Amino acid sequence: MKYQRPKGTADILPNEATQWAAVESLAREVFKKYRYQEMRTPMFESFDVFSRTSGETSDIVTKEMYDFFDKGNRHITLRPEGTAGIVRAYVENKLYGPEIQKPFKTFYMGPMFRYERPQSGRLRQFHQIGVEAFGSDSPALDVEVVTLAMALLQSVGLNSLKLSLNTLGDNESRQNYRQALIAYLEPHEAELSADSKERLHKNPLRVLDSKDANDQKIVADAPSILDYLTPAATEHFTQVKEYLDALNIPYEVDSNMVRGLDYYNHTIFEVMSDSKAFGGKWTTVCAGGRYNGLVEQLGGPETPGVGFGLGVERLLLILAAEGIDLNEQHDLDVYVVGIGAETNAASLKLVQALRQQGFSADRDYLDKKPKGQFKAASKANAAYTLTIGQEELEQHKANLKNMANGHQEAIDLEQIYTDFGQAEAILAEKEN
RNA sequence: GCGGUAGUGGUGAAGUGGUUAACACACCGGAUUGUGGCUCCGGCACGCGUGGGUUCGACCCCCACCUACCGCCCCA
């Protein structure tokens, strides 16, 4: 094979594309109800947009950025996630302005890029659907975003989901906790895995997230962030939980849950699936949280924000594993069988007329014999065929055949041109 | 970035150092001068991921690379 797609990319073929389109269209419906409006930002941004916001030591920045220098020697990055670009656009276009109602609620969908080893459900170009809401500190908004994430997944037919919740607190909580955590971990430093040793001082919270069995043992007795929250942070988290309870939305507090991105604070959450698509292991399909300092960090006014991102490929994998097919079957209404080259124009006129009347219509373009054309019609699941040959041409008629029962009747071309629905009725009547 | 497994036609695949690379499905054509099924007949890999090497001879052995899948890391 001479040409092949770049590593970690995928061709989405017609069969699959309909499923994608269905997911996107269901998402749009949900967003409409929640009043989130679409934004489309560039697929690449200045490297700094991501390096500043994600955290210089984050894995995304240190090893997963798909970056390059363009011909103007600008350091460019293919966006690894959606939030930073949206925030950049929010600031650059002054969407924080007084004339814009708050919270400003927006969604996006599109490709993201991370330079990493592909596996199923993990690609170098993958797709996310995400939302962001700016301008309100209210825990009620956190909860709206959570419910939106759940609603989105439910709208495509998923029910076996788990909502995992945690808080990172505000800056002060985090600083206090960080110190406590380092103090706890340092005595164990020698026992920690290499990765965790590395993170101990750079980003100790990430140690909590370690998959290493021994690390987990150590971490099991580590202090909890929940014990270091400031009263304000506690209050925020408590309210989030209360509102979720009020909505009867079950959740699990996982005080070890952290974020690979540095910009999060307060509420963070993940929606996980235990679908067989991932071998029954709980896998995150949707992750989000609050990021109150981010807008400021990118040069805007102090503006709180909260949002989530959802991995489309993962969602599609789950749908496939659960046997959920969102495609509406659009079978062919009419297949026009033309016999002889001299019927070419007439066949075109027929399909054209049918299409203009709102029917789906197709015909042969390979000079197939009638038998082959009927086969094609059958394969396309055509409801009717319309056969036209020399004889019909002369009589200004065409043979309309109901493919389900084989009944056939000659119908005036004029009738088909003006009202095919009536032609269907005529055939149905003759059948009885 | 590290470790493991794999790579034969449109698809599923057999083959395993030595004649024309099984078989099946799909597809195309014919038997059937204008009607979907079945049956029968026929066609269908410029050649076994790419490039080197070993050998009298390689799809089969060796090396490198590419790609996919799985695990690690991390995450959506």
d(CA A337, CA A392): 12
What domains appear along chain A, each with residue ranges and CATH number? Answer: 14-170+230-321 (3.30.930.10), 334-431 (3.40.50.800)
Instruction: Report pLDDT digits (tens) over A319-367.
Output: 888 888 888 777 899 999 999 889 999 999 999 999 999 999 999 998 8
Nucleotides of B under 7 A from a protein CB: 1-3, 27-30, 32-37, 49-50, 66-76
At A56, the pLDDT band (50, 70, 90 cuts) reads low
ipTM rounded to 2 decimals = 0.83
CA A1 to C1' B63, in angstroms, rounded, equals 21
d(CA A365, CA A387): 15
pLDDT of residue A330: 75
A228-240: average pLDDT: 94
pLDDT of residue A308: 95
Q: Structure tokens of A280? A: 């029954």
Instruction: Report pLDDT digits (tens) over A193-220.
Output: 777 777 777 778 888 877 777 777 888 8
Exposure string of A79-90, with b = 16+ CB inside 10 Å and e = fewer, is bbbbbbbbbbbb
Instruction: Report pLDDT digits (tens) over A259-312.
Output: 877 788 899 999 988 777 776 677 888 999 999 989 999 999 999 999 999 999
Q: Are A303 and A295 in contact (CB under 8 A)?
A: yes
Instruction: Report pLDDT digits (tens) over A302-321.
Output: 999 999 999 999 899 888 88
CA A1 to C1' B18, in angstroms, rounded, equals 29
Instruction: Report pLDDT digits (tens) over A134-192.
Output: 999 999 999 999 999 999 999 999 888 889 999 999 988 988 888 888 888 888 888 87
A104-111: average pLDDT: 96
Share the mean pLDDT of chain A.
89
A403-409: average pLDDT: 90
A15 touches strand B (CB under 7 A): no
pLDDT of residue A57: 67
- Would you say the C-alpha torsion A107, A166, A258, A163 has a positive or negative sign? negative
pLDDT of residue A73: 93
d(CA A261, CA A52): 10
Among residues A408, A132, A161, A106, the alpha carbon closest in space to that of A288 is found at A132
A123 touches strand B (CB under 7 A): yes
d(CA A108, CA A131): 6
**Is residue A426 pLDDT above 70, yes or no?**
yes
A404 touches strand B (CB under 7 A): yes
Residues 129-188 of A with CB under 7 A from strand B: none
Secondary structure (3-state) at A266: strand
A260 touches strand B (CB under 7 A): yes
A65 touches strand B (CB under 7 A): no
A11 touches strand B (CB under 7 A): no
A378 touches strand B (CB under 7 A): yes
